[in-house]
Amino acid sequence: AGAEGVTGSAHPRTMRVVLCVQDDSAIHCLEPLATRGCQAICIASDSTCCGFARRCMELGFSFMTMQDQAVSKVAVDNFNPEFMVSVPQLGKQVPQIMEEPAVSDGPKKYIIHVGEQMQGAPWPEFAPIWLGADSSRVSLLQVGKDEQVAVSRVRVGPEETALSLRAKHAQAAAALLAEVLENGGLPKGLPADGAVPTAASAGEAPPQICLDWPEEKVERFVRASLFPPHDPAVVAEPTSGETYFVETMEQWRMFRVKVLQEGGSSEGSLSRAYAADTHWYSNIGGSIVKMGDSDIHMPIKTVNKKRKAIIPGAAMGARKKLRMNEPLIGPNAERYCSSALSSGWIGVEGPYVKQFEKHLARICGCNAACAVQSGTAALYGAMKALGVSDPSHHVLVPSFTCAACADAIVHAGGRPIPIDCEMESYGLCKEAVRTALETDRDAVGIVIAPCYGVPSRDFNDILAMCKDRGLWICEDACESYGAVKGMEDGTKAPVGALATLTVVSVRSEKMIGVGEGGAVLGNDATLVARAKWWCSRAPCRGAGLWRVYEHDAVGQNFRLPEMLAAVGCAAAEMLPTMVERKRAIHEWYIESIAARRSLKAVQLQKQAEGDESVWWINAALLPEGVSGEEVGMRLMKDYPDIEIRPGFFPLNVMKIFKSKWLQPCPNAETLYKRLVCLPSSNQLLREDIDRICGALEDALGAVTAGGSAE
């Protein structure tokens, strides 16, 4: 049993209550128990009431299921409750322990009914909406009596759905329960309302939409049937008998036009535009992203409902997908997200955002952090904080990196100058940087981007150049946080700890994956605060709260929301495990490639002595003269379960970054031509790596023998 009482409560006597529930909506009924300091045993119909169970644990209430009625009865008898309350869904069996007649010296038993009874209705909220009622009732019945002892009514709005009405019912049920607890028995001040109402006179609930119904009737049926995650309303095509889901009136109208009038299919009938996307690779002809969802309102066939759950790039057939990267979120994600939802605060500046910023600052060896919505947003905030605002502000960037690195400089107002990389760690080349600084007097700083989880070999030398010339250095650690850089004096520092500002990404494929997000970090709290200001729409400073909508500059709304930060906290807790797995996978690649004679000319990325890489992605440099594109396309064609990615397209080749200050970047162009990025997901096993290397061996052999993928 749980809480002994609530500090400062006006209800000093601790009551013992058994609460029997049928679904997660009854979570509202826990609050009156907690407010009044009750001891409680909460019994769910089955193990699907996950949210309810989690909230019970948070409040200190005992939780069990009704799957073993005998065990439930023993627990209740030993608990000796004063009240037993059941909140069943209509049509579900009342728990056996509630059906036993109440005795004079036993607990008082109540059943809370919601909505209206109607034969064939999938849930009690169906009838009030389907019949066009303006209100629905929540009824309290005392076991042993045939009449309601109290009733509460809730309004049924003109756009009410079954799900939204369920939320209203749950809140009203919680209020009835609070009345019972407040008065030690029957509620006071709430009217009784006679026998339990039914909607039997209205006939049975129809199983699906009838084609000759007027639109108003269809609309009510659709709303009454909308109770996710359950299936929505269904309509049948009269000729073929095929059935379709209808969740909105837009889908109903599209069904009538495209299926009934034009005779077309609801899926795949309209033209779509596609574009390449470097972040998702389906391996079936390359990566595609649908650009024109012109058929967004088309209903899907009921036989294809599983299609809605298919993620991009899912493996074909029974073989599992060997992915480039996957998040390792951790066991606390659901708990943290549930806590954030329960708090009602899902905006920015919440407690999980603050905690996530602490995690990232610790990982990168920094004293301050500002969480934002993406790595690109973090780069923008960093550039603005560092004073980049004019095309005369030249910023040196790696040519071999994600274009977002240069994009952010342009968004801030500056000019990116792509610089070549070295061929070991694929980081910025110190000789190329030195040449650029000698010829470009407008350079204000350098963005250095450790590639694929490997610290930049020349970081220490480039840092020294920046200090000598009074330039700032921003470390784009989006792929490499968690790694460690060895210093010339033998000490070590986390990647990100030594730069003027550091940025990270927590996109789903990164070392910490939350879906989308990033952060600006540094040891100068003033600079980080400036980046935060730019990413918070640059509000007017020192003007007082009443002038909150006044701004000093044109900033951006880039702050990270609480829910993503909650996921981030859970994922950050798993970073040590992620790093350990990544390093093991890299060792497996070394061993598997070395064991294949035909791959002896294939080279993996190298780290400098003293560095500790996280090997975010394992990149294979193919022999000279072999095209990475040809080998990669062959892999995609012959091994669709293996996710493949090219190296970065050199920024110096892109037209959008051309300028008269541009220097040749032969190493970056070589890497793009010869590099193939191999799956590096933390979920991979040793046998997966062997399969990948075997596939690489086959593809390399086919290409060098003269074959090519279409």
The pLDDT tens digits for 37-66 are: 999 999 988 777 888 888 898 889 999 888
274-291 average pLDDT score: 41
Q: Among 12-16, 405-409, 555-559, which stretch is predicted with the lowest mean pLDDT?
A: 12-16
- What are the φ/ψ torsions at residue 392 (nearest 5 degrees)? -75, -10
How do residues 590-605 score in pLDDT, each as one tens digit?
999 999 999 999 999 9
Going from N- to C-terminal start, the domains of the chain cover 16-195, 206-262+272-283, 339-571, 573-707
CATH class of the domain at 573-707: alpha beta
How do residues 147-161 score in pLDDT, each as one tens digit?
678 888 999 999 999
What is the predicted pLDDT for the residue at 14? 80
Residue 675 forms beta bridges with which residues?
A: 621
The DSSP-derived string for 311-373 is PTTPPSSSSPPB-S------TTHHHHHHHHHHHT--SSS-HHHHHHHHHHHHHHT-SEEEEES
**C-alpha distance from residue 152 to each of 29, 125, 171, 180 (Å):** 15, 15, 11, 13
CATH 3.30.540.10 for the 16-195 domain, yes or no: no
What is the predicted pLDDT for the residue at 668? 97
> Is the pLDDT confidence value at 425 over 90?
yes
**C-alpha–C-alpha distance, residues 291 and 295, integer Å:** 11
Chain-wide mean pLDDT for the chain?
Answer: 86
**C-alpha–C-alpha distance, residues 538 and 389, integer Å:** 14
**C-alpha distance from residue 322 to each of 326, 442, 526 (Å):** 10, 46, 44
Assigned token pair, 430: 């110190």
How do residues 308-334 score in pLDDT, each as one tens digit?
555 555 544 446 789 999 999 888 998
- Give whichever of 74-78, 241-245, 303-307, 680-684 has the largest mean pLDDT: 680-684
The DSSP-derived string for 160-178 is --HHHHHHHHHHHHHHHHH
Alpha helices in 247-316 (DSSP H): 249-254
40 and 17 in contact (C-beta within 8 Å)? yes
Instruction: Label residue 286 left, alpha or beta by phi (over 0 means left) and psi (-120 to 50 means alpha).
Output: left
297: Cβ contacts below 8 Å, ≥ 6 apart: 248, 250, 251, 253, 254
466-471 average pLDDT score: 96
Fill in the amino acid letter for 151: V
Tokens 């009038």 -> residue: 261
- What are the φ/ψ torsions at residue 142 (nearest 5 degrees)? -95, 130
Q: What angle do CA 63, 66, 67 make, to 5 degrees?
A: 120
CATH assignment, 339-571: 3.40.640.10
pTM exceeding 0.75: yes
How do residues 558-571 score in pLDDT, each as one tens digit?
999 999 999 999 99
